[in-house]
Amino acid sequence: MNALPDAAELARLDAADPLRAARDRFALPDGIIYLDGNSLGPPPRRALERLEEAAREEWGQGLIKSWNDAGWMELPLATGRKLAPLIGVDGDEVVCLDTVTILIFKLASALSRKKPEAAIAVERGDFPTDGYVLEGLAALTGCAFKYVEPGTSPAALDPEIGVLVRSAVHYKTAEIADIARWEREARETGLDIIWDLSHAAGLVDLKLKQDGARFAVGCGYKFLNGGPGAPAFVYCRSDEIAGIDHPVTGWLGHDTPFDFVDGYRPAEGIRRFITSSPSILAITSLNAALDAYDAMALSEVEAKARALGDIFLQAGAQLGLDTISPGIGARRGGHVCLRHEHGYAIAQALIARGIIGDFRAPDLMRFGFNPLYLSYREVGEAARQMIEVVETREYERPEFNVRKAVT
Amino acid sequence: MNALPDAAELARLDAADPLRAARDRFALPDGIIYLDGNSLGPPPRRALERLEEAAREEWGQGLIKSWNDAGWMELPLATGRKLAPLIGVDGDEVVCLDTVTILIFKLASALSRKKPEAAIAVERGDFPTDGYVLEGLAALTGCAFKYVEPGTSPAALDPEIGVLVRSAVHYKTAEIADIARWEREARETGLDIIWDLSHAAGLVDLKLKQDGARFAVGCGYKFLNGGPGAPAFVYCRSDEIAGIDHPVTGWLGHDTPFDFVDGYRPAEGIRRFITSSPSILAITSLNAALDAYDAMALSEVEAKARALGDIFLQAGAQLGLDTISPGIGARRGGHVCLRHEHGYAIAQALIARGIIGDFRAPDLMRFGFNPLYLSYREVGEAARQMIEVVETREYERPEFNVRKAVT
Fold of A7-44+297-401: Aspartate Aminotransferase, domain 1 (3.90.1150)
Identify whether A172 is a catalytic site residue: no
Identify whether A30 is a catalytic site residue: no
Domain ranges of chain B: 7-44+296-401, 71-293
Do B128 and A51 count as a contact with CB atoms less than 8 A apart?
no
State which residue of chain B sits closest to A73, comparing Cα positions: B406
Quote the pLDDT of residue B407.
43
- CATH annotation of A73-293: 3.40.640.10
pLDDT in tens, chain B (407 residues): 468 999 999 999 999 999 999 999 999 999 999 999 999 999 999 999 999 999 999 999 999 999 999 999 999 999 999 999 999 999 999 999 999 999 999 999 999 999 999 999 999 999 999 999 999 999 999 999 999 999 999 999 999 999 999 999 999 999 999 999 999 999 999 999 999 999 999 999 999 999 999 999 999 999 999 999 999 999 999 999 999 999 999 999 999 998 889 899 999 999 999 999 889 999 999 999 999 999 999 999 999 999 999 999 999 999 999 999 999 999 999 999 999 999 999 999 999 999 999 999 899 999 999 999 999 999 999 999 999 999 999 999 999 998 865 54
Among B58, B61, B63, B366, the residue to mutate for chain A (most A Cβ within 10 A): B63
Do B246 and A105 count as a contact with CB atoms less than 8 A apart?
no
Please pick, among B36, B98, B192, B196, the residue that the annotation labels catalytic: B196
Q: Name the residue among B55, B101, B404 with its Cβ closest to that of A275.
A: B101
B194, containing H or E segment: strand B192-196
Digit-coded pLDDT (tens) for A289-337: 999 999 999 999 999 999 999 999 999 999 999 999 999 999 999 999 9
Identify whether A171 is a catalytic site residue: no
Quote the pLDDT of residue A3.
82
For domain B71-293, the CATH class is: alpha beta
User: Which residues, at least 6 apart from B8, have a Cβ–Cβ distance to it below 8 Å?
Assistant: none
Do A275 and B102 count as a contact with CB atoms less than 8 A apart?
yes
Do A229 and B280 count as a contact with CB atoms less than 8 A apart?
yes
B7-44+296-401 and B71-293, same CATH topology: no
CA distance A37 to chain B (A): 8
State which residue of chain A sits closest to B73, comparing Cα positions: A406
Work out the average pLDDT over A134-162. Answer: 97
Identify whether B221 is a catalytic site residue: yes
**pLDDT higher than 50, residue A397:** yes
CA distance A315 to chain B (A): 24
Do B247 and A124 count as a contact with CB atoms less than 8 A apart?
no
Which CATH number is correct for B7-44+296-401, 3.30.420.590, 3.90.1150.10, 3.40.50.620, 3.40.50.1970? 3.90.1150.10
Digit-coded pLDDT (tens) for B138-194: 999 999 999 999 999 999 999 999 999 999 999 999 999 999 999 999 999 999 999
* Whole-number Å distance between alpha carbons of B39 and B28: 15
Please pick, among A105, A127, A293, A373, the residue that the annotation labels catalytic: A127
Do A227 and B59 count as a contact with CB atoms less than 8 A apart?
yes
Residue A404: band (very low, low, confident or very high) from pLDDT cuts 50, 70, 90? low
Identify whether A222 is a catalytic site residue: yes
